[in-house]
């Protein structure tokens, strides 16, 4: 099979490499795991080519290299999930794909989950193979790493990129191939062509913090979860955890011990084709208006507004409010936020990514100082109802309550927000748990360090 012609999609100021193979009736975007390149020469002179060829027989297969890897632009550090979602959309837009199946392997699982929950109008179906929803240990998620295990793993930096290290990683991905010298030689070349040791270490740091469990119940597109029974990297129990929490998801356990998609690829692709063809033949691929979506809501209000209004008088206060509103609207445009409502001195906005929402809130909190004002801000990410293109529901009420708990000048977020911004560079300090008026239970809150 001939490799695709490589082209580039502009995503912000980064060039993301992509290629398209096949001309089937529906689109499929394959998001590779870890640092592995879909477009480097080694991917098309080794075992992955069979996987790509099988998929392309029934669809238009859209491949890309994540920014910082393969033949996409190199970047400083590792982009967060939100930025990577922007790259997926940029590639889909440039190839004219209105709606596609998203197939995520291994490390790409959390990204694929977040994309499907945030942009259901762009996702006709979701397929996950050999992946998990989190890398963080929790009582109900024992497959993640504890804080101590995470710290120990991050300390292990010696030998990254060496032949011995690469062989050890292959043993994790494809234990059945560790005795094959030709397979080991090809694997070393593929990984080294995909990313530098620095990128590998940066990705390890980001991945150790990812927790996308909050997205699962917000996914309402047809979902297939595939796992091999002997996969020790991401055991089948992780797949069952995911499928049990995504409404209507189907779980299929395959035989074998390999994590790698390029070992016995037909076992995977036959299930993918079966699942996607059934959706296509039922006529469920067309664009649709989703009634629910994952969104981040932001609330701000001016500290001491009443006293300030009394001090200034009606006319001066009205003028100051107009300047305040104009300032916030400029920041919303800058960070791609959507103004939903204003009530007196308060603002309510939504975002398709939590990191953008946090940065917007921090910019607002800093910028209002020039007006002699101080604001408090609160954010929450959750499943929202869409009514007349505006978000509503319990997630909105939680966001408002988080804002009410913020101190003057503080940007306060829920744990859901914090968990979804791994790799963004945003730092937090714990504010402890709190009761939110009218919301059941106690909520863990975090203040953004600025």
* Cβ atoms of residues 28 and 123 within 8 Å: no
Instruction: Provide the pLDDT for residue 292.
Output: 86
Instruction: Provide the pLDDT for residue 24.
Output: 93
Q: Which two tokens stand for residue 51?
A: 């996987």
Single residue among 212, 247, 281 that ends a domain in this structure: 281
Q: Given CA atoms 103, 108, 109, 111 in this order, what sign does their dihedral have? A: negative
Q: Which two tokens stand for residue 96?
A: 């004219």
| Residues 248 and 272 both lie in one domain | yes
Assigned domain for 90 exists: yes
Q: Which two tokens stand for residue 164?
A: 């011995």
Q: Is 268 helix (H, G, I), strand (E, B) or coil?
A: helix
Largest separation between any pair of C-alpha atoms in the chain:
81
Q: Which residues contact 437 (CB under 8 A, 6 or more apart)?
A: 401, 404
* pTM of the predicted model as reported, rounded to 2 decimal places: 0.92
Q: What is the DSSP letter of 281?
A: H
Q: Which stretch of DSSP H or E encloses residue 207?
A: helix 197-207
Closest CA to 261 of 410, 146, 107: 107
| Residues 395 and 434 both lie in one domain | yes
Q: What is the pLDDT along the chain (450 residues), one digit of tens a residue?
A: 889 999 999 999 999 999 999 999 999 999 999 999 999 999 999 999 999 999 999 999 999 999 999 999 998 877 889 999 999 999 999 999 999 999 999 999 999 999 999 999 999 999 999 999 999 999 999 999 998 988 888 888 888 999 999 999 999 999 999 889 999 999 999 999 999 999 999 888 888 888 999 999 999 999 999 999 999 999 999 999 999 999 999 999 999 999 999 999 999 999 999 999 999 998 888 766 678 899 999 999 999 999 999 999 999 999 999 999 999 999 999 999 999 999 889 999 999 999 999 999 999 999 999 999 999 999 999 999 887 777 889 999 999 999 999 999 999 999 999 999 987 889 999 999 998 988 888 999 999 998
Q: What is the DSSP string of 88-139?
A: HHHHHHHTT-SSEEEEEEGGGHHHHHHHHHH-GGGEEEEEEES--SBSB-BT
Closest CA to 420 of 133, 35, 221, 144: 133
Sheet holding 27-31, edge to edge: 7-11, 14-21, 60-64, 27-31, 100-105, 123-129, 223-228, 250-254
Closest CA to 55 of 28, 35, 33: 28
* Beta-bridge partners for 390: 387
Q: Is 33 helix (H, G, I), strand (E, B) or coil?
A: coil
At residue 445, what are phi and psi to the nearest 5 degrees? -120, 150
Assigned domain for 304 exists: yes
End-to-end alpha-carbon separation of the chain, Å? 51
Instruction: Provide the pLDDT for residue 286.
Output: 78
| Residues 226 and 353 both lie in one domain | no
Assigned domain for 234 exists: yes
Instruction: Provide the pLDDT for residue 84.
Output: 93
| Residues 237 and 326 both lie in one domain | no
Domain harbouring 383, CATH code: 3.30.70.1230
* Cβ atoms of residues 40 and 195 within 8 Å: no
Distance separating alpha carbons of residues 408 and 374, to the nearest angstrom: 7
Single residue among 235, 262, 281 that ends a domain in this structure: 281
CA-only gyration radius of the chain, Å = 23
The number of C-alpha atoms within 13 Å of 407 and in the hemisphere containing its C-beta is 6
* Cβ atoms of residues 415 and 403 within 8 Å: no
| Residues 181 and 325 both lie in one domain | no
| Residues 306 and 256 both lie in one domain | no
Instruction: Provide the pLDDT for residue 424.
Output: 83
| Residues 263 and 319 both lie in one domain | no
Instruction: Provide the pLDDT for residue 202.
Output: 87
Domain harbouring 217, CATH code: 3.40.50.1820
Per-residue three-class SS string for 357-420: HHHHHHHHHHHHHHHCCCEEEEEEEEEEEEECCEEECHHHHHHHHHHHCCCCCCEEEEHHHHHH
- Cα dihedral: 217, 219, 220, 222 (round 10): -120
Assigned domain for 287 exists: no
| Residues 305 and 359 both lie in one domain | yes
Assigned domain for 139 exists: yes
| Residues 118 and 186 both lie in one domain | yes
Q: Alpha carbon of 167 to those of 37, 77, 104, 182, 438: distances in Å?
A: 18, 25, 24, 12, 55
Q: Which range of residues forms the domain containing residue 147?
A: 7-281
Assigned domain for 350 exists: yes
Q: Which two tokens stand for residue 129?
A: 């193979």
Distance separating alpha carbons of residues 223 and 248, to the nearest angstrom: 7
Instruction: Provide the pLDDT for residue 288.
Output: 64
Single residue among 281, 306, 328 that ends a domain in this structure: 281
Assigned domain for 1 exists: no
Q: Is 97 helix (H, G, I), strand (E, B) or coil?
A: coil
| Residues 109 and 43 both lie in one domain | yes
* Beta-bridge partners for 138: 141
The number of C-alpha atoms within 13 Å of 301 and in the hemisphere containing its C-beta is 17
* Beta-bridge partners for 62: 20, 29
Assigned domain for 305 exists: yes
Closest CA to 190 of 304, 90, 69: 69
| Residues 238 and 114 both lie in one domain | yes
| Residues 222 and 303 both lie in one domain | no
Q: Which two tokens stand for residue 210?
A: 């990812």
**Helices 81-94 and 109-118: angle between axes, nearest 10 degrees:** 70
Locate tokens 């010298």: which residue?
181
Q: Is 349 helix (H, G, I), strand (E, B) or coil?
A: strand
Number of domains in the chain: 2
């Amino acid at each position: 099979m001939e490799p695709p012609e490589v082209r580039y999609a502009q995503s912000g100021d980064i060039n993301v490499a992509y290629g398209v193979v096949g001309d089937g009736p529906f689109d499929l975007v394959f998001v590779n795991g870890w640092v592995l390149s879909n477009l480097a020469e080694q991917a098309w002179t080794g075992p992955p080519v069979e996987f790509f060829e099988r998929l392309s027989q029934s669809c238009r297969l859209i491949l890309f290299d994540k920014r910082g890897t393969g033949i996409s632009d190199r970047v400083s550090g590792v982009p967060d999930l939100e930025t990577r979602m922007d790259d997926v959309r940029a590639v889909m837009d440039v190839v004219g794909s209105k709606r596609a199946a998203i197939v995520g392997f291994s490390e790409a699982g959390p990204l694929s989950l977040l994309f499907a929950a945030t942009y259901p109008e762009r996702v006709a179906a979701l397929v996950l193979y050999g992946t998990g929803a989190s890398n963080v240990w929790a009582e109900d998620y024992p497959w993640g790493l504890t804080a101590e295990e995470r710290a120990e793993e991050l300390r292990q930096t010696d030998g990254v990129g060496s032949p011995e290290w690469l062989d050890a990683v292959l043993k994790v991905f494809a234990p059945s191939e560790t005795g094959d010298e030709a397979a080991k030689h090809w694997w070393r070349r593929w990984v080294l062509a995909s990313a530098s040791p620095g990128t590998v270490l940066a990705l390890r740091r980001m991945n150790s913090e990812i927790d996308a469990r909050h997205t699962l119940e917000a996914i309402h597109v047809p979902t297939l979860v595939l796992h091999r029974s002997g996969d020790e990297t991401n055991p089948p129990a992780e797949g069952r955890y995911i499928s049990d929490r995504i409404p209507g998801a189907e779980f299929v356990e395959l035989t074998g011990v390999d994590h790698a998609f390029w070992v016995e690829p037909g076992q995977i692709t036959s299930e993918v084709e079966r699942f996607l063809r059934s959706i296509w033949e039922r006529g469920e691929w067309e664009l649709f208006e989703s009634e629910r979506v994952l969104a981040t809501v932001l609330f701000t209000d001016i500290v001491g507004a009443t006293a300030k209004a009394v001090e200034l008088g009606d006319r001066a206060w009205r003028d100051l409010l107009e300047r305040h509103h104009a300032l916030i609207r400029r920041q919303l445009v800058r960070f791609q936020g959507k103004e939903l409502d204003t009530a007196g001195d308060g603002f309510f906005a939504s975002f398709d990514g939590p990191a953008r929402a946090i940065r917007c809130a921090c910019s607002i909190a800093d910028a209002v100082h020039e007006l002699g004002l101080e604001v408090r801000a609160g954010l929450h990410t959750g499943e929202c109802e869409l009514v007349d293109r505006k978000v509503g529901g319990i997630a909105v009420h939680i966001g408002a309550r988080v804002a009410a708990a913020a101190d003057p000048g503080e940007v306060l977020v829920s744990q859901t927000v914090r968990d979804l911004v791994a790799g963004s560079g945003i730092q937090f300090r714990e504010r402890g748990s709190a009761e939110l008026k009218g919301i059941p239970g106690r909520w863990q809150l975090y203040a953004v360090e600025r």
